[in-house]
Amino acid sequence: MKQLILFLSIALALTSCSNDDSDPSKVAFKTIIQGAHYGGSPGTIQQSNLVIKNQTDWNNLQAKLNFMTLAVYTSPDMNVDFTKQQVIAVFDQVRNSGGYSIDITNITQNNTELIVKIEQLKKGDLTTVMSQPFHIVKIAKTNKTVVFK
């Protein structure tokens, strides 16, 4: 009987322990806009990874990037409901040629973190104009720490 109680106590303790490194689950995201600034406009944003959680910061970013020029070509959905969503934006370095990309390819989460995977799917050197690739997405609002990899 004592062995059964000891076994059940150990089993209960092991199953009730929380693990911050639990298997990550996928997080849905929607691209708002992806592309590159060309010519004289690259460099308006430093190479960076941003988490935007309010309308004021979102408006400031849009003003810096002059999305109106890009919207003529892509018609992005710039509406973000910051009560339910937040924005993840990644900006590559300014490149001496075009054809590069920076891509948010996957977002996962565990108990404590949101992990944003960034890749460069297009390797560039296609044009002789300076460019700065960027990718901006929206996701469901979270208070987890965002980690870019």
**Alpha-carbon distance 61 to 77, whole Å?**
15
Paired with 119 in beta bridges are 103
In a domain, 74, yes or no: yes
64/134: higher pLDDT: 134
**Alpha-carbon distance 96 to 132, whole Å?**
9
pLDDT at 63: 82
In a domain, 13, yes or no: no
2-10 average pLDDT score: 50
Q: Which domain holds residue 141?
A: 24-148
Longest CA pairwise span in the chain (Å): 79
Q: Please check the confidence at residue 23 and state whether its pLDDT lies above 60.
A: yes
In a domain, 57, yes or no: yes
| Tally of domains within the chain | 1
In a domain, 89, yes or no: yes
Q: Please check the confidence at residue 102 and state whether its pLDDT lies above 70.
A: yes
pTM of the model: 0.78
In a domain, 88, yes or no: yes
> Angle, to 10 degrees, between the axis of helix 67-74 and the axis of helix 55-65?
80
In a domain, 19, yes or no: no
For residue 24, name the pLDDT band (cuts at 50, 70, 90): confident
Q: Where are the alpha helices (DSSP H) in the chain?
A: 2-16, 55-65, 67-74
